Structure 1
């Protein structure tokens, strides 16, 4: 199942959605039975297969009702939204490795993207509140605003020791996702990411 461009472009000027999306009762039940972290599936081939079917069922439902914010779909589908040296979107990386169609959603490596679709950036709630409050107070975030947000993100990363477990690049990616969720232009969101990633 490909994420339809009709779905991606169906909303005009969407309001930013920060944090979790709303689920139907059926989706909530599927989610409750789903393991969302790949490491939980190590050495469980049968469990991984069942989990893949649950992830597919959840994605099928979410896409059918256009429940995933447009920018989160773009993060997965649009090559210009992907960071890193290898060119191509996250979907294209799956396809280059011969994982196509519904099998993408079944793949354990897809779980990191499913978490973003469902919950947004994986950062502490107080940091999300501080960043999003500052970003939304600007209205339209320009280059100087993005620089200020980058400094704020870097300072919070240091203060709360966010890079201890996943490194500066991992934390930077989560701030990048959060910036996108706040409706910040992708180029400015990337500048915020670079500021956080520069921590050494």
Structure 2
């Protein structure tokens, strides 16, 4: 089961336990609809009490934090595809964003800890520190044999969560994307 990195209310825990995060687990259309309604209820509860870390919400809603989004946020892309509001929250494609709202970057725990320690080691990250952080992210991607494309976006989110300026985080993302 998914383990959020912040506290849920008992009702939210119950909702989370009912959610299937893999579309392949759905047993049909009605199951997908039920799952979507449960996701909707959970997200609304989390947003109402402002439980989701602010940077994760901003990562989803701010066009500036969506490299390669051509001026659109991740939320805007749902809107452009005809899914907004409840439809967006209930769409199976929203599950990957729900995971990141709850747990943050989808990386091995040891990779997250190692990268966070590297950022802390630099103190306030400046342009002179980025090369070291890019090397750390690249090395972790190789060490844990991560898919470079998806790991790039997760290291980007991780860098943002660590307080790294978005342009520097984008540089880290591009470095990880180039891993072969």
Alignment match, 2:102: 118
Gaps of 5+ in 1: 1-18
Q: Which residue of 2 aligns with 1:7?
A: none
Conserved 8 A contact 2:36-2:89: yes
Runs of 4+ in 1 over 3 A off after TM superposition: none
Work out the CA distance in 2 between the residues paired with 1:118 and 1:44: 25
RMSD over aligned CA atoms reads 1.4
Q: CA deviation at 1:85?
A: 5.2
Residue 104 of structure 1: aligned partner: 88
Q: CA deviation at 1:37?
A: 2.5
Aligned match of 1:144: 128
Unaligned runs of 5+ in 2: none
Aligned pair partner of 1:194 in 163, 174, 177 = 174
Q: In the alignment, which of 124, 146, 152 is matched to residue 172 of structure 1?
A: 152
Give the aligned length: 177
Q: Summarize deviations over 1:121-175 as a string: whole Å, max 9, x none.
A: 0111111111111112222111122221111110111122112xxxx11111111
Q: Which moved more, 1:45-54 or 1:86-95?
A: 86-95
1:94 CA displacement:
0.8
**Aligned equivalent of 2:19:** 34
* CA deviation profile, 1:75-131 (whole Å, cap 9, x unmatched): 110111112254311111111111111211111111111000000001111111111
Q: Which has the higher contact order (CA 8 A, sep 6+)?
A: 1
Q: How does 1:59-138 map to 2 (within 5 A)?
A: 59-84=43-68, 86-138=70-122
Cα distance change on mapping 1:117 and 1:45 into 2, 3 Å: same
Question: In 1, are the aligned partners of 2:63 and 2:69 still within 8 Å (CA)?
Answer: no
Equivalent pair of 2:107/2:154 in contact (CA under 8 Å): yes
